[in-house]
């Protein structure tokens, strides 16, 4: 068998007479001066493909041919000329000629060349070529593009053959610097001039400005002339896209474009001299078998399904190849196929790179993969991505995946996984979105995430994230704005043992119900930073049950450590445990709005922060928290600020099943509050349960500071706070408490405990909270008091919640509210009741409508029953409106929140209600603002609407009475103003009005920004 193999650069002169086929490419120099030296170089700038697609090719039957042809990627075209398996291999990547005189040098197109096999064959493939012609001081360049898989086809679109013989000719009789012409046999054997090339057609960067496309030349009137007839090219050999020896021999071919549509659908092994399919697969180059043992992460090769980039250096100085999918290019990764972007393992971050530019397309079929390893890099700069179930991108050690377009979306069950010591980069102003159930981001231990300015990773619509022991940091020189942004994520999200540096809002988002956030370090480093910022409003039915656990995290600096906000129908249920917040700036350590659950074992130490813990309409259990505040600013610096909040700060009493004796279950209590320049707890329409709480209150010796200060919920002028410790006033409590009408409240605060020894625990119980186990310590009931019936009921209902007996707890709490209207637990019981309904809600809207309609009716009846208790009416009415929102009675909810925003006696409550209003308006997708006249009419209409319903009429009267009492109290208040100055109150009222009147004209992002 005779075999002729020619590699790489071809020199010399070849002349061939036309053989009756078309597809020759002639390199010619003609003119009067036969001594002109013309250097011509033809080189690929795109992937090159090869194969036969012409039925009349004389050697078709001996070669790979299936009509309409199989055109594969490869730098070598193997052509058999007989059944004896004699073949010649044609290199396609580059040809270089130095010609003189009137020389003609022909190259056959691999798809149509039908002449005899030549000893010195010249051939060209399906590719985009760059042509360079140099003569003395003249340099001409142009592109020649034949990336049309139909090119060479016989009897196609009105032509006997889709093809022509082309000539690139230097003619020295033409004007200087304008001597190159392109000719072609477009209509037979006669050549016609197609165009000319001048030296000025080369750009300053050395690249051509002119590109000749075969389909435009041969079909000038075709529809969509800028696009070829067909882009059906296949990648079926490995490595991809060129032989590694080309990279080893020189620094060339390091930057190639794809130039077309290529499908990765199977990988052929090289089977030897008889092979018609896999002859571009490399199986023995520098001891590397790219098919059986490619240079990828060990253990991941899948025979017949794995592609790998070339992985080759030149003189160990030039590394890697850069492949770019430009605008209009498409890559299709077929089902189960795996593309690896690799590099030399010993040289980190110097591997191969694939870039998908804006306007390109990357289509991934089921279970397809793109992997990077050993310095390899995948970069998406705004490509159009298509994902399928099980498709994914994965980065292994010392490699990276980067996204730099405005928006990239992973959906349809696709995912991205970053392994140890690999990097995920998200560029400036880029949002990387994971969208839909089954779609997820997995960040393995020691993985790295870098984010640019205004970049974010968004987890939405049921997608999830699992981040473990990874690091997040800024990509550039300025702070990153976001890291992970949630928007209705799915269940079982995890962010654990991670470090966030130089990021303003590491974890933020909406409707986050299921997240384990555990053992993370948030190094905010900016006065604007917020470590965790979640705003929930249960926009859709079927919201996930709460499993929001924020435990053992550390927050340094920033404006807020943790902010959790419930809006509209949502009351956040969170478990916050063993978190450390240390800050010298800003607003709050922990801030909660409409939030229940637990805040325990947290350490909050601040020097210039407003409040250690701020609660707005929130009733969590507070256990063993250490809150130290040293803010010297006037009216600021409280350890705990309460606004319409009644947290539990004392244990519940549970009967021992053995001896039937009651014992303390330390759900709450044993908190240590320190304030150097302000109060330990500031009340606004609030009344935490403190009796027998064994809390430790410490204030400075200043006469202007208090342990307890403010306005207490309810009508009782007696407040029990026995068995607590008081430091800073001769070991007795210093307080200034009153009810709404400024009637003083007497604190009953005798103590029988030893404030130096602590609690003598006798045991503990474990309770599961989502995927976390909560330890509740137990001690003996030392009081000797008989337990009041209302306390027994509340304790029993709380224990039922611990045991996840939510329906039973509902019945117990209703028993309390029905029969004990003066119970100190009545306010907390209402919020616990609502949270139990949240816990038993399902994805069925009919079920939601049924249970929350029942709760709404129950609370309306309680408002009538408790109408003497203005605080209870206020609290219960808020939950009625939340029920209205939950059952999608949005207009009724809007009316109620608008009324609160305009008429609540407390400006802060007005502002908070206006936020709820905005969320409901968002659900209705309203648009447009209001005129001033409309605003006045709207206020009048609201008052009329409130008078039509007996319950809302009670609420209206309650607010009017509270406002009168507040006005009277403010006239008496001369010693110290109640928290906000009149100017501040007016500001809050105006902001609340603005939120109402502009609610329908703001988008969701604008609303979120205004709320913060």
Q: If you average pLDDT over residues 807-816, what whole number do you get?
A: 98
**CA–CA distance, 401 with 419 (Å, rounded to integer):** 11
Q: What is the pLDDT of residue 814?
A: 98
Other CB atoms within a 10 A radius of the CB of residue 412 amount to 17
**CA–CA distance, 253 with 8 (Å, rounded to integer):** 12
Cα–Cα nearest to 906, from 711, 674, 663, 637: 711
**CA–CA distance, 234 with 332 (Å, rounded to integer):** 9
Q: Does position 123 have pLDDT exceeding 90, yes or no?
A: no
What 3-state class would DSSP assign to 978? coil
The DSSP-derived string for 60-78 is GGGS---TT---EE-SEEE
**CA–CA distance, 196 with 210 (Å, rounded to integer):** 10
Q: What is the dihedral of CA 56, 62, 65, 67, to 10 degrees?
A: 40
Contact of 922 with 511, CB cutoff 8 Å: no
Name the band, by pLDDT with cuts 50, 70 and 90, for residue 32: very low
Give the C-alpha distances (Å, rounded to integers) separating 806 from 533, 676, 798: 28, 42, 10
Sign of CA dihedral 786, 790, 791, 792: positive
Name the band, by pLDDT with cuts 50, 70 and 90, for residue 770: confident
Choose from 484-498, 698-712, 733-747, 898-912 the range with maximum mean pLDDT. 484-498
Residue tagged 């071809």 (tokens): 10
**CA–CA distance, 178 with 190 (Å, rounded to integer):** 23
Mean pLDDT of all residues in the chain?
A: 86
| DSSP secondary structure code for residue 999 in this structure | G
Give the C-alpha distances (Å, rounded to integers) separating 159 from 151, 152, 563: 11, 11, 71
**CA–CA distance, 490 with 441 (Å, rounded to integer):** 12
Contact of 568 with 923, CB cutoff 8 Å: yes
Contact of 692 with 662, CB cutoff 8 Å: no
Q: Across 236-319, where does the E strand assignment appear?
A: 255-257, 261-264, 306-308
**CA–CA distance, 556 with 582 (Å, rounded to integer):** 5
Domain boundaries, the chain: 3-218, 406-601, 610-786, 889-1012
Choose from 6-10, 557-561, 954-958, 1004-1008 the range with maximum mean pLDDT. 557-561
259 φ/ψ sector (left φ>0, alpha ψ -120 to 50, else beta): left
Cα–Cα nearest to 988, from 921, 929, 914, 922: 914
How far from each other are the two terminal CA atoms of the chain, in whole angstroms?
80
Other CB atoms within a 10 A radius of the CB of residue 965 amount to 19
Q: If you average pLDDT over residues 699-725, what whole number do you get?
A: 92
Cα–Cα nearest to 612, from 586, 647, 576: 586
With both helix axes pointing from N to C terminus, report the angle between 932-948 and 950-972 in degrees, rounded to the nearest 10: 110
Tokens of 321: 């190849």
Name the band, by pLDDT with cuts 50, 70 and 90, for residue 541: very low
**Percent of the chain that is helix, strand, coil (3-state, to 5):** 20, 35, 45
Q: Does position 99 have pLDDT exceeding 90, yes or no?
A: no
**CA–CA distance, 750 with 21 (Å, rounded to integer):** 109
Q: Kindly give, in sequence order, each residue whose CB lies less than 8 Å from that of residue 675, ignoring residues fewer than 6 positions away.
A: 628, 629, 630, 637, 638, 639, 698, 699, 700, 705
**CA–CA distance, 374 with 395 (Å, rounded to integer):** 9
**CA–CA distance, 470 with 451 (Å, rounded to integer):** 14
Tokens of 203: 């750009």
Q: Does position 691 have pLDDT exceeding 90, yes or no?
A: yes
- The model's pLDDT over 633-646, given as tens digits with 9 standing for 90+, comes to 555 568 899 999 99
Q: Counting beta carbons within 10 angstroms of the beta carbon of residue 516, is it exposed (0 to 12), middle (13 to 18) or buried (19 or more)?
A: buried
With both helix axes pointing from N to C terminus, report the angle between 870-886 and 907-924 in degrees, rounded to the nearest 10: 10
The neighbouring-strand residues paired with 503 are 480
Name the band, by pLDDT with cuts 50, 70 and 90, for residue 902: confident
Q: Does position 34 have pLDDT exceeding 50, yes or no?
A: yes
Contact of 72 with 237, CB cutoff 8 Å: yes
Compute the half-sphere exposure of residue 721: CA atoms within 13 Å on the CB side of its CA: 25
Give the C-alpha distances (Å, rounded to integers) separating 673 from 6, 373, 505, 605, 793: 85, 52, 28, 10, 29
Q: Kindly give, in sequence order, each residue whose CB lies less than 8 Å from that of residue 115, ignoring residues fewer than 6 positions away.
A: 16, 19, 21, 108
Contact of 293 with 327, CB cutoff 8 Å: no
Listed as own residue / partner, the contacts of 182-185 with beta carbons closer than 8 Å and 24 or more positions apart are: 182/142, 182/212, 184/217, 185/22
Q: If you average pLDDT over residues 409-427, what whole number do you get?
A: 98
**CA–CA distance, 343 with 214 (Å, rounded to integer):** 36
Q: What is the pLDDT of residue 12?
A: 24
Tokens of 129: 């070529």
Other CB atoms within a 10 A radius of the CB of residue 720 amount to 16
With both helix axes pointing from N to C terminus, report the angle between 890-903 and 907-924 in degrees, rounded to the nearest 10: 160
Contact of 583 with 558, CB cutoff 8 Å: yes
Name the band, by pLDDT with cuts 50, 70 and 90, for residue 312: confident
Q: If you average pLDDT over residues 582-587, what whole number do you get?
A: 76
Tokens of 147: 């990336």
Q: What is the pLDDT of residue 510?
A: 93
Name the band, by pLDDT with cuts 50, 70 and 90, for residue 444: very high
Q: If you average pLDDT over residues 858-882, what whole number do you get?
A: 95
Q: What is the pLDDT of residue 16?
A: 25
Least confident range of 185-189, 298-302, 764-768: 185-189
Q: If you average pLDDT over residues 595-614, what whole number do you get?
A: 88
- The model's pLDDT over 494-535, given as tens digits with 9 standing for 90+, comes to 999 999 999 999 999 999 999 999 999 999 977 789 999 999
The neighbouring-strand residues paired with 530 are 560
Of all residues in the chain, the percent with pLDDT exceeding 70 is 85
Cα 568 from chain centre: 25
Other CB atoms within a 10 A radius of the CB of residue 275 amount to 16
- The model's pLDDT over 150-205, given as tens digits with 9 standing for 90+, comes to 998 888 888 888 988 888 888 888 999 999 999 998 876 678 999 999 999 999 99
**CA–CA distance, 926 with 1000 (Å, rounded to integer):** 5
Q: Does position 552 have pLDDT exceeding 50, yes or no?
A: yes
The neighbouring-strand residues paired with 433 are 409, 458
**CA–CA distance, 258 with 536 (Å, rounded to integer):** 45
Name the band, by pLDDT with cuts 50, 70 and 90, for residue 820: very high
Q: What is the pLDDT of residue 543?
A: 56
Q: Does position 618 have pLDDT exceeding 80, yes or no?
A: yes
Residue tagged 């006037």 (tokens): 634
**CA–CA distance, 81 with 62 (Å, rounded to integer):** 6
**CA–CA distance, 7 with 30 (Å, rounded to integer):** 29
- The model's pLDDT over 207-227, given as tens digits with 9 standing for 90+, comes to 999 999 999 999 999 998 889
Q: If you average pLDDT over residues 602-628, what whole number do you get?
A: 90
- The model's pLDDT over 949-981, given as tens digits with 9 standing for 90+, comes to 888 889 888 888 887 877 666 655 544 444 444
Q: What is the pLDDT of residue 452?
A: 96
Sign of CA dihedral 514, 518, 524, 530: positive
The neighbouring-strand residues paired with 611 are 588, 638
Compute the half-sphere exposure of residue 175: CA atoms within 13 Å on the CB side of its CA: 6
Tokens of 233: 């090219």
**CA–CA distance, 818 with 801 (Å, rounded to integer):** 19
Q: Does position 550 have pLDDT exceeding 70, yes or no?
A: yes
The DSSP-derived string for 596-617 is EEEEES-EEEESS-SEEEEEES
Q: Does position 934 have pLDDT exceeding 50, yes or no?
A: no
Cα–Cα nearest to 248, from 298, 290, 311, 199: 311
């Amino acid at each position: 068998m005779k075999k002729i193999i020619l590699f790489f650069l071809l020199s010399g002169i070849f002349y061939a007479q036309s053989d009756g086929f078309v597809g020759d490419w002639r390199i010619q120099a003609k003119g009067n001066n036969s001594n002109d030296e013309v250097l011509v170089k033809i080189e690929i700038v795109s992937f090159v493909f090869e194969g036969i697609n012409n039925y009349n090719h004389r050697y078709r039957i001996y070669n790979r041919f299936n009509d309409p042809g199989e055109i594969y990627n490869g730098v070598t075209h193997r052509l058999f000329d007989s059944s004896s398996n004699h073949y010649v291999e044609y290199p396609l990547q580059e040809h270089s000629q130095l010609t003189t005189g009137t020389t003609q040098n022909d190259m056959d197109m691999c798809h149509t060349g039908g002449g005899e096999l030549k000893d010195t064959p010249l051939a060209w493939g399906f590719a985009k070529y760059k042509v360079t012609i140099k003569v003395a001081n003249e340099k001409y360049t142009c592109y020649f593009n034949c990336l049309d898989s139909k090119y060479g086809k016989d009897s196609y679109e009105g032509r006997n053959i889709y093809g022509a013989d082309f000539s690139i000719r230097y003619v020295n009789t033409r004007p200087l610097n304008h001597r190159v012409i392109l000719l072609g046999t477009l209509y037979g054997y006669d050549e016609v001039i197609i165009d000319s090339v001048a030296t000025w057609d080369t750009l300053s960067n050395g690249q051509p400005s002119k590109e000749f496309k075969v389909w435009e030349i041969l079909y000038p009137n075709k529809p969509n002339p800028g696009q070829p007839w067909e882009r059906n090219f296949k990648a079926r050999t490995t490595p991809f896209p060129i032989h590694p020896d080309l990279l080893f021999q020189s620094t060339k071919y390091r930057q190639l474009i794809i130039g077309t549509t290529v499908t990765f659908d199977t990988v052929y092994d090289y089977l030897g001299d008889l092979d018609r399919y896999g002859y571009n697969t490399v199986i023995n180059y520098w001891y590397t078998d790219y098919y059986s043992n490619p240079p990828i992460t060990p253990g991941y090769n899948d025979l017949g399904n794995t592609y790998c980039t070339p992985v080759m250096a030149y003189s160990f100085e030039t590394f890697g190849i850069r492949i770019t999918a430009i605008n209009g290019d498409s890559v299709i990764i077929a089902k189960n196929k795996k593309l690896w972007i690799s590099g030399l393992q010993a040289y980190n971050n110097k591997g191969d790179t694939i870039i998908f530019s804006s306007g390109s397309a990357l289509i991934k079929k089921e279970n397809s993969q793109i992997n990077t390893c050993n310095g390899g890099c995948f970069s998406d700069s705004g490509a159009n991505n298509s994902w399928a179930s099980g498709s994914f991108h994965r980065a292994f050690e010392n490699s990276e995946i980067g996204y730099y377009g405005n928006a990239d979306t992973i959906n349809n069950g696709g995912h991205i996984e970053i392994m140890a010591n690999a990097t995920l980069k998200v560029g400036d102003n880029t949002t990387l979105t994971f969208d839909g159930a089954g779609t997820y981001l997995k960040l393995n231990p020691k993985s790295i995430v870098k984010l640019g300015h205004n970049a974010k990773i968004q987890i939405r619509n049921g997608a999830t994230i699992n981040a473990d022991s990874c690091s997040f940091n800024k990509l550039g020189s300025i702070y990153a704005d976001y890291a992970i942004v949630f928007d209705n994520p799915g269940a079982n999200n995890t962010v654990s043992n991670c470090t966030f540096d130089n990021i303003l809002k590491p974890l933020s988002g909406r409707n986050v119900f299921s997240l384990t956030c555990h053992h993370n370090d948030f190094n905010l480093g900016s006065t604007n930073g917020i470590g965790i910022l979640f705003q929930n409003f249960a926009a859709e039915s079927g919201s996930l049950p709460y499993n929001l656990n924020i435990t053992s995290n550390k927050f340094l600096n920033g404006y807020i450590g943790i902010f959790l906000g419930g809006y509209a129908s949502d009351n956040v249920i969170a478990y916050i445990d063993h978190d450390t917040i240390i800050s010298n700036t800003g607003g709050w350590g922990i801030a909660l709005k409409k939030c229940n659950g637990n805040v325990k074992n947290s350490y909050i130490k601040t020097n210039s922060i407003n409040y250690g813990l701020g609660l707005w309409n929130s009733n969590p259990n507070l256990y063993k928290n250490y809150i130290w505040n040293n803010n010297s600013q006037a009216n600021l610096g409280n350890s705990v600020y309460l606004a319409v909040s009644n947290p539990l700060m004392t244990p519940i009493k549970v009967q021992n099943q053995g001896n039937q004796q009651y014992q303390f279950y330390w759900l709450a209590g044993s908190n240590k509050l320190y304030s150097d320049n302000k109060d330990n707890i500031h009340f606004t329409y609030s009344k935490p349960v403190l009796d027998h709480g064994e809390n430790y209150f410490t204030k400075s010796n200043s006469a202007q500071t208090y342990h307890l200060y403010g306005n207490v919920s309810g009508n009782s002028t007696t407040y029990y706070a026995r068995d607590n410790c008081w430091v800073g006033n001769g070991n007795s409590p210093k307080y200034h408490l009153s009810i709404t009408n400024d009637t003083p409240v007497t604190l009953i605060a005798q103590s029988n405990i030893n404030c130096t020894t602590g609690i003598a625990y006798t045991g503990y119980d474990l309770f599961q909270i989502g995927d976390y186990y909560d330890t509740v310590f137990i001690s003996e009931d030392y009081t000797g008091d008989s337990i009041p019936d209302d306390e027994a009921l509340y304790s029993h209902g709380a224990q039922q919640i611990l045991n996840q007996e939510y329906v039973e707890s509902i019945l117990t709490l209703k028993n309390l509210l029905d029969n004990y209207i003066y119970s100190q637990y009545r306010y907390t019981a209402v919020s616990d009741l609502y949270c139990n309904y949240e816990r038993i809600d399902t994805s069925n809207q009919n079920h939601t409508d049924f249970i929350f309609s029942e709760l709404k009716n129950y609370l309306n009846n309680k408002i009538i029953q408790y109408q003497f208790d203005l605080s209870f009416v206020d609290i219960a009415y808020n939950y009625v409106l939340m029920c209205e929102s939950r059952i999608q009675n949005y207009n009724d909810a809007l009316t109620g929140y608008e009324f609160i925003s305009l008429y609540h006696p407390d400006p802060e409550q007005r502002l908070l209600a206006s936020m709820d209003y905005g969320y409901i308006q968002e659900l209705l997708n309203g648009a447009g603002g209001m005129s001033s006249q409309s605003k006045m009419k709207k206020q009048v209409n609201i008052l009329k609407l409130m008078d039509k319903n007996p319950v809302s009429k009670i609420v209206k009267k309650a607010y009017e009475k509270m406002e009168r009492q507040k006005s009277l109290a403010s006239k008496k208040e001369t010693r110290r103003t109640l928290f906000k100055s009149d100017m501040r109150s007016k500001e809050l009222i105006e902001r609340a009005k603005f939120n109402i009147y502009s609610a329908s004209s703001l988008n969701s992002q604008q609303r979120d920004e205004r709320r913060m």
